[in-house]
Amino acid sequence: MNSPVPARLAALRAAMQQHGVAAVLVPSADPHLSEYLPAHWSAREWLSGFTGSAGTLIVGRDEAGLWTDSRYFFQAEQQLAGSGIRLMKLRVPHTAEHLAWLQQHLHQGDVLAVAGDSVSVTTRQQIERHLAGTGASVRTDLDLPGAIWPDRPALPQAAVVEHDLVYACIARADKFSRLRKAMHKLGATHHLLSSLDDIAWLTNLRGSDVECNPVFLAHLLVQADQRATLFVGRAKLTDALVARLAADGIAIADYASVTSALNELGANERLLLDSSRVVDTIAAAIAPEVTRIEAANPSTAFKAVKSAAELEHVRDVMRRDGAALVRGFRRLEQRLAAGMTVTELDVDTVLREERSAQPGWVGESFATIAGYQANGALPHYRATPEAHSTLQAKGLLLIDSGGQYLGGTTDITRVLALGETTAEQRRDATLVMKGMINLSRARFPKGASGPQLDALARAPLWAAGMDYGHGTGHGVGYFLNVHEGPHGIRAPVPGGALVALEPGMISSIEPGLYKPGRHGIRHENLAVVVEAEQTEFGEFLAFETLTMCPFDRRALEPGLLNPEERAWLDDYHASVRAALSPLLEEADLEWLNRHCAAL
């Protein structure tokens, strides 16, 4: 079937000509600057045909380019073929970043259009700085992709529900009280939030407007005087829930009325907002006489540090999630051993069946990645009914999956040896494991940040002349987004913020190695930062591993592990066996014991 993309680009260029526009910028974003988008705001995907979660499209009069990172190079090459859109590889030498490309290609009098509900205040300012010397201008009042999208999906209308205090652990009123104290310190009379996970956490509400993320479309305006307004579709809430919110001083207003409310603020008001997390269209509605206080949302830092009660729920979820995976992995191996046909799609089905039987399970935390052999070399590979591989009793299967539970969010990657493996595969899997153990065992001074620790996971690969192109770790929400800031473990970026790791922060630890056309390796656990010791040099922190599921030692070359690394792996497997044994029986328990045996 011919791609519809060229016809869509032609329609967009006709609209551009009509409005005197030289180029259109189409980010992967919605009015809440979410990582994963409701279909209504997937304009970049609709226009380009590229389905990856990260990418920026620019359409000019005569050429078009899509910028994405190394996780998606292979996928983008396939999906952009024949579309008339050129793949622009991010962070590759001699490839201009998209803003630099605009700077080079736009000239005096040219107009760049970008929908104002898809760029933050900060991003618009960055664009204007890059175009300052070109004579080109920016318009954010034109949503040209939306204007030519005839069957654009409607806004999602899923129900909003309360996160029971048994799991939420901290009462809504207490969270708002803490937020108002932070507002007072900053001198704010009002605080605007558009980031969906902040709003869900503060209000102890959850939804399903975004696939795999238990959030709902809303804006929130908090006042210093114990009042707040939640801008959300009223039909999503029951009358009883509206009454409970009102008891906590939270009124309900129509989702689209947030701009009117901002426009009504007066000259004496001081509005706190995070300019990197509020879109240009919303900010433009703020009356000019209102004083803006631009700072990070205080709630972003609050929710990153999990309470002791939350962590107890998370540990229980990790045990149940691990037991579900053991059952699923054993079932897959049993089917293969019996000569049954098993595909990458079956992996997703089996794991969903096992997880959904667990108490408090809500859904997946992201789309399962099950990549067999060469498909594992694609970090964000996703099998489809049209394109997937059949498993065989040999080689490696990479499985990256996760669950959303009332008591926490999981994210885990395991590499299974389905049969005979090569010496290269075992060596590579072991080098990645050495990096994971390195970081998992780390002790670091209070105040250290993720970018300062990142090299610990890469060092064994660097010593062998290898590396990987993604970050080593991301924050994880509490029955919220699987990717959560403000902290992360990644290579240092010039000018990038160094967010100190604090006790209670959960992060993934997931080094990897990818050899296109051959195989991919990624080992991933979630870990929480904990206090380690106090010395004459100050306070030191460490990681407590939360994920409870065996690694497949058949994929490793134990001789490449030093005594400390072997001891860590044996100790980890002893902990896994102790945690999961009470939840398993018969064949599943036997599988667990076999995979948790000492090296």
pLDDT (tens digit per residue) in 108-150: 999 999 999 999 999 999 999 999 999 999 999 999 999 999 9
Q: Which strand (E) or helix (H) includes residue 292?
A: strand 291-294
- In angstroms, the CA 165 to CA 401 distance is 27
CA dihedral (168, 174, 176, 182) positive or negative: negative
Query: Any idea what the Cα angle at residue 31 is, between residues 284 and 127, rounded to 5°?
Result: 60
163: amino acid identity, one letter: H
Q: What's the whole-number mean pLDDT along residues 147-163?
A: 96
405 C-beta neighbours (distance < 10 Å), count: 25
> Please, where in the chain does CATH 3.90.230.10 lie?
308-593
Query: What is this structure's pTM?
Result: 0.95
Contacts of 270 (CB under 8 A, 6+ apart): 187, 188, 189, 190, 290, 291, 293
- pLDDT tier for residue 1 given thresholds of 50, 70 and 90: very low
d(CA 518, CA 140): 45
Sign of CA dihedral 209, 213, 215, 218: negative
Q: Are the C-beta atoms of residues 480 and 549 closer than 8 Å to each other?
A: no
- What pLDDT does 119 receive? 97
Q: Which CATH class is domain 308-593?
A: alpha beta
* Nearest C-alpha neighbor of 419 from the set 395, 383, 386: 395
CATH architecture assignment, domain 5-147: 3-Layer(aba) Sandwich (3.40)
Tell me which residue of 225, 234, 233, 180 sits closest to 202, measured CA to CA. Answer: 180
Strand partners, 484: 475
Q: Give residue 237's pLDDT.
A: 98
Q: What one-character-per-residue DSSP string does 460-479 give? A: HHHHTT---SS-SEEE--SS
Residue 35 · residue 476 · CB < 8 Å:
no
CATH placement of domain 161-304:
3.40.350.10
Ramachandran sector of residue 187 (left: φ over 0; alpha: ψ -120 to 50; beta: rest): left
Reported as half-sphere exposure (CB side, CA atoms, 13 A), residue 581 has a value of: 11
Q: What percentage of the chain exceeds 70 in pLDDT? A: 99
d(CA 430, CA 434): 6
Q: Is the pLDDT of residue 584 over 50?
A: yes
pLDDT per position as a tens digit, 60-109: 999 999 999 888 888 899 999 999 999 999 887 777 899 999 999 999 99
Do residues 158 and 208 make contact, with C-beta atoms less than 8 angstroms apart?
Answer: yes
Where, residue-wise, is CATH 3.40.350.10 in the chain? 5-147, 161-304
